[in-house]
Structure 1
Amino acid sequence: MNLNSKKLTIPDLISVGVFTAIYFVLVTIATFSCALLPGVGNILLPAVAALISGSVYMLLAAKLQKFGGISIMGLVMGLFFFMSGHFVLSFAANIVCGVLADWVASRSQYRSKKVLLASYVIFSYGLTGPILPLWFMKDAYIANLTARGKDAAYIDTLFAPINNGSFVAAIAAILVCAVLGGLFGQRMMKKHFEKAGIVA
């Protein structure tokens, strides 16, 4: 199969739109779930989303098997975060991780479980975009929150767990949860994988 000759068709784009919408819903569920954990909820969002979204990602890869679908999903998520008031880093992280994940998956022509798992791990780091400013753009983040009317108590609670240790923990949690979520997704999509010719 020559991936370079395979263009995304209108039905393909519709499928990407459907899977992106489902992924968005799962990220929203993860967001509300993390909101129940004051202070640490924000930094856990990417990990929780990675844990529950593996099936959607794997099914998209199995159904499409063309470069572009994963990239578009990352682009749409990045645009959503940016348009909803997050820093430009939220857009950059999603699109960079989306395109890189798509490229990695394409190296096996979307037919290797191990490569698809690695691809999903990379894609999952796209959701670090909205939280990275907590560590690396603290002053700008605080100014943004203040401009949006957030009080000092809210800001103090938000930044209480922000340190080098929590950064390492957040990055590690994404890795673990993405692997678990990806493996679960592959198990759930076993029949689709077999039909698509995806192997170990």
Structure 2
Amino acid sequence: MKKLKMQELIFTGVYTAIYFFVVAIVMVVLKLAVPVFDSLLLPAASALFSGIIYLLLLQKVPRFGGISVMGGVFGLLFLITGHFALSFIPSFVCAILADFIQYRWNADEKLRTLVSYTVFSFGLTGPLLPMWFMKNAYVDSLIRRGKDADYINYVFTPITTTGFVVCVVSVIICSIAGIYIGRKLLTKHFQTKR
């Protein structure tokens, strides 16, 4: 595996910043529109609107590494912004796995991109997954940070079996839709005519 060139790292940084901006906007809109379920719906809603960013990254950095860097940056953000200690792991794992799928899986390019984007989109579930699978440890971490019972109950309102299914299914559906929309935008606005 060759290292990314400086120009490719710059493109990766630019698209990571744009992706962060889109995720931040989606987070604010969801917090205003559906305040209890905003964190549950964030990965799916972000996947719906970020397909074009992912495709542009693949176009400018057409080899292994760019996807991993983008996901890794989000993992670091989860780590340094006070999320549960293990929240960064899904971002790293999903990004690296998405990179392998995109550039090491011997399948049709469109299928590879769709699957890799779907896997990548699950990286944003990092702050959520411990709430389902490590609830006691997560509650203890909130208590150590000075959160009261009302806040903890509010945070865990959508954390049910149904909520888990909704989160997973919605990420898959929105990733498929996001790549479809992204391809339409890429063809219409970003591909050079020859």
Question: TM-score of the superposition, structure 1-length normalised?
Answer: 0.88
Do residues 126 (structure 1) and 110 (structure 2) align? no
Contact 1:12/1:64 (8 A) holds in 2: yes
Contact 1:61/1:110 (8 A) holds in 2: no
Q: Hey, what's the Cα distance between the residues in 2 that align with 1:8 and 1:168?
A: 37
* Deviation digits for residues 150-192 of structure 1 (CA, Å, limit 9, x no counterpart): 2322221221222111111111010001110111111111268
Give the aligned partner of residue 22 of structure 1. Answer: 18
Q: Which amino acid aligns with 1:58?
A: L
Contact 2:84/2:141 (8 A) holds in 1: no
Q: Which amino acid aligns with 2:97?
A: L
Q: Which amino acid aligns with 1:187?
A: K
Give the aligned partner of residue 35 of structure 1. Answer: 31
Secondary structure of the equivalent of 1:150? Answer: coil
Query: More displaced, 23-32 or 139-148?
Result: 139-148
Q: Hey, what's the Cα distance between the residues in 2 that align with 1:7 and 1:107?
A: 16
Do residues 56 (structure 1) and 64 (structure 2) align? no
When the two chains are superposed, the root-mean-square deviation of aligned CA atoms in Å is: 2.1
> 1:114 and 1:194, CA in 2 relative to 1: closer, same or farther beyond 3 A?
farther
Deviation at 1:147, TM superposition (A): 2.6
Give the aligned partner of residue 117 of structure 1. Answer: 114
Gaps of at least 5 residues in structure 1 are 196-200
Secondary structure of the equivalent of 1:53? Answer: helix
Give the aligned partner of residue 165 of structure 1. Answer: 162
2:153 to 137, 152, 156: 156
Deviation at 1:193, TM superposition (A): 8.0
Give the aligned partner of residue 104 of structure 2. Answer: 107
Q: How many residues align?
A: 191
- Amino-acid identity (%): 47
Secondary structure of the equivalent of 1:95? Answer: helix
Deviation at 1:130, TM superposition (A): 0.7
